Amino acid sequence: MRYTLRQLEYFVAAGEAGSIRHASEKLSISQPSISTAIAHLEIELGVQLFVRHHAQGLSLTGVGQILLVEAKKVLSMAESLHAIAAEATGQVRGQLQVGAMVTLAPMIMPELAYNFRQTFPAAEISQRAANHEWLGEKLSKAELDLAITYDLALPPGIAFEPLASLPPHALVAQSHPLAERGEVTLEELAAEPLILLDLPLSRHYFNELFEREGLRPTVYARAAEQEIVRTMVANGYGYTLANVRPRSDRALDGKRLVRLRLKGAHRPMVIGMAMRQGERQSRLLEHFIVHCRASISDQTIPGMCPLDEG
């Protein structure tokens, strides 16, 4: 055998990303290194793995699609050797594939993974941020070991363990007339321009808050990126509703945001761990689950300010 696991890894990354550039960004490896690895594999295997489209990335050939599946199996088996050795020697080492809801990942995952590796330096945490549906699909396919997400619908065979509640709140610019209020009602907000976080589940959740009060929000603009919503609000376009509580009260352009409590009883979003049911867990995953339980609670959440902070 004259190809390496590293070359298979680069092939899989390019196949899943659909381009050398995106694979390079994902792996933090130069594009020429990935191109060279793929070319070596094609020569060694005697097949064409990709069709190259000028300025439009790559597409897998028929045989490339088959070999992509097999390459992922080889990489998984190779990784399991570390897990088996760790189990036999009582070590906590190996790699975990951990996903997180895209709105939670920037705040929670860096600190959560870093602190875990401080205790278990031989562990590697591969972090993936995506929407809730994607996380559920990858868990079902065993392409993720665990996901940090919300208590929303998950595929059969996936269990959810709640860890912390995130009640909704409003965000306004520092110059907004409501900024000095401290708290506000949905009725008072309904006529104000709303900058809506336009992700499928988020959109439904926030609209439902108004519907339960017999209200309809005045949607001024929509954006699927949380930071665009925050920056528009900080610049005075309107208000938004949110559940996450970043430690920084600044938008990306440096302008300040003010968090207002919502009066009344509103259903919170619940953060927790999603995992496959009935599957034997590695020692590494067991320790990471314990770490998540200790790190995420109603009292403290990595990357977020406490509930009672304004």
Predicted structure pTM score: 0.71
Residue 77 carries which side chain, given as an amino acid letter? M
CA distance 42 to 178: 63
Confidence of residue 85 (pLDDT cuts 50, 70, 90): low
Q: Where are the domains of the chain?
A: 5-75, 92-165+270-295, 168-267
User: What share of the chain in percent tops pLDDT 70?
Assistant: 94
Highest-scoring range by mean pLDDT, 5-19, 140-154, 236-250: 236-250
Picking from 73-82, 155-164, 194-203, which range would have the lowest pLDDT averaged per residue?
73-82
Burial class of 235 by CB neighbour count within 10 A (0 to 12, 13 to 18, 19+): middle
Q: Which helix (H) or strand (E) holds 114?
A: helix 105-119
* Cβ neighbours of 274 (radius 10 Å): 24
Class of the CATH domain delimited by 168-267: alpha beta
CATH code of the region 92-165+270-295: 3.40.190.10
Same fold, 5-75 and 92-165+270-295: no
CATH code of the region 5-75: 1.10.10.10
CA distance 190 to 134: 32
